[in-house]
Structure 1
Amino acid sequence: MTDFAVLDLVPVREGSDVSAAIRQAGDLAQVAEQAGYKRFWVAEHHASDGIAAGATSVVISHIGHVTSTIRVGAGGIMLPNHNPFVIAEQFGALDALFPGRVDLGLGRAPGSAPIIGQALRKDLARASEYFPQDVVELRALFTGDLELPIKATPGFGAKVEMWMLGSSLFGAQLAAQLGLPYAFASHFAPRHLDEALRTYRENFRPSTQLEQPRVMAAMSVLAAETDAEAETLASSQDQAFVRLRSGDPGKLPPPLPGYRDSLPATAQAMLESLDVARAVGSPATVREAIGRFIERTQADEIIVSGATFDPAAREESLRLTMEALGN
C-alpha cells in the first residue's frame, strides 16, 4: 500500500506576509492530518520573499504544536549550510517535543542563491564535498554508533527518522550505501527519476534503521472540482516557477486563467518537462495521474507538493486527493 505525505514550501502570497504564511502552514498541516496523510514536511530555503521556511526547525515546531499524530519534519535541511552538531541539537529538541513523529530529510544543495554562503559564513562548495561524512556524523550524534568526542544534548538517543533527498544519482548512491530511505525531487527535477530509483534499489545495503529500500517520490498535485478550475489554480505555482527560473523570484502571485498558453514556447516546454510528476485536475484526473506515476516508480510513498494563492484551495485539494485515492 502506498503512503501519502505533504510537502509545503510555506509560501508567502502577494499582499501577505511571513506571519500569515507560517500560520497557514499550520492550518494546512491540520487538514493533512485529518485527511490521513502520513507526514508533513517543509523545506529549507533562504533569502526568498516568497518562502517563509528559512528557520526550518522553528516552523516544524509550530506545525508539531498544532497537530498531534502526523509526522512532521524537513524535506529538507540543506546540510552544507550547517554543521551536524547544531542540526542534531535542533532535531533532538524537536524529538523531545514530539516523540516518534520527527523526520529529517537531508539535501546537499544550498537551497538558495550563492550569496547565502557569505551570509552564513560558509564556503558552500567546499562544504558540499564533506556532505557524506557530515551525514554519517549527524547520524552518529543521534545513535552513538561512532565514537565521537562530544555528545549532543538534546540529540543523543533521539528517534529521528533520517531520509536522504536527491534529484540526481549522487543522493541515490549515498542513500543506498548508508541504508537510508530515499526521497526523489521529481516534482521539479524529474530528468534522472528512473535511473536514480534503479541505482538506489540495486545498491541498497541494509542498516539498523532500514532493512529494505524505501522510496518516496514527489509530485505536484492539485485537485479541484474540474480540470479547468485546477489548471487555473495551478497557474500561481507555474508563474512562480517561471519567475524563479528567469531569475526574478517573488511572492506567490494570484492565478491567471490560460497562463501556460500565454507563454513563449521555451517557457511552455520548461513547464511541460515537469508534467511527468504532475497531477492537476478533477479528482478523477488526479487519481489517474497518480496511479500512472506509482506504476512507473513503484514508490512506497508519494509526497504531494504545490501551492495555491488561496490557502483554502490547497486545503481542499488535499481532501479531494485523498478521497479520490480512496484513503
Structure 2
Amino acid sequence: MLLGLLFALAAGLMWGLVFVAPVMLPGYAPALLTVGRYLAFGLVALPLALLLDRRALRELAPSDWWEAAKLSLVGNFLYYLCLSAAIQRAGAPLPTMIIGTLPVVIAVCANHRNRVRDGQLPWAKLAPSLGLIAAGLALVNRDELHALQAEAGDPRRYAEGALLAFFAVACWTWYPIRNADWLRAHADRSPRAWATAQGLVTLPMALIGAVLLAALHLAAPGTLIPVGYAFPLGEKPWAFVGLMAAVGLFASWLGTLCWNEASQRLPTSLSGQLIVFETLAALAYAFTWNQRMPPPATIAGVVLLVAGVMWALRIKPQKI
C-alpha cells in the first residue's frame, strides 16, 4: 500500500508538468503542444525499448500491442484533443471544473466495476473521502468557478465545450481502469515495459497528427495554430524542443511507469482518488513559476484534498 502510494505521488509530480508547459510557452497552440508531447514520448520510448525492454517487449502478444494502442489513442490523443477543443469552445473555467471531477468519478466507477477483483471500499466509509476531495477541488478551482459565473458567452458554444469536457472525463475514466485491468491480469509483466510499449504505439499516432496539423495549417491558417506562427517550432524553438523532450520523458514515460507500478499495487478505486496528486503538483508548479503565494481558499482546498486522500488510505477493501 505504501509503495503504491509513493508511486502514485511520483506519477502526480510528473504529470503536473503538463499543466505548466502551456504557461511556459504561451504562444504555442494546445494542439501543437499535444502533438509535440506525444511525438517526444514516442522518440523517448525508442532507445528505451532497445536498451532496457527489448526482451520484455518481445513477450507481448499482438493482443497486448492492440490494447496498448487503444490505451494510447483514448488516454492520450483523444483525451487531450477533447480537452483542447473544449477550452477553445467554452474557455478554460468550464472544462477545468468538469475535468476536476476525475478523482471522484474514477473512484466511484472503479469501486462498483472492480468490486469482485479488488474488493469493495464500503460506500459509507468512502463517502467522507470523496466529499473531502470534491470540496477541495471546488476550493482549488474557485477562481475558475467565479470566472465561469462572470462570463456570458454563447450558450451553444458553452454547451459544446461542456459536452467535449465530459467526453474527456469519460476518456480518462476509461484509461486508468482498463490500464489497471491489463496490469492486474499480467502481474508478472514489467510495468516499465508496458509504459515503453505505450510510447512506441504513440509514435506513429503522433507522426500522423503532426502531418495533419501541418496540412491544416497550410490549408486553413488560424484554425488551430495562430496566423503568423513560425511553423513548426515557433519563436522559441530550443525552449519548445527542450520542454517537449522533458515532458515526453518525465510526464509521459516516467509518469506512466510510476502509474503502472501504483496500479499493480492498489485497488483502482483508491488509485483513482490519488490523481489529486496531479492537481496538487500542477498548482505548486504554476504558483512557483508565477512567483506568488496561493490564496487562502486554494490552501484550504489543498488541505481538504490531502485529508481526503489520507482518509481513503485508512479504508480496507472488503471482498465480495
Structure with more of its chain in strand, by fraction: 1
State the TM-score, normalized to the length of structure 2.
Answer: 0.25
Structure of higher RCO (CA pairs closer than 8 Å, 6+ residues apart): 2
Structure with more of its chain in helix, by fraction: 2
State the TM-score, normalized to the length of structure 1.
Answer: 0.24
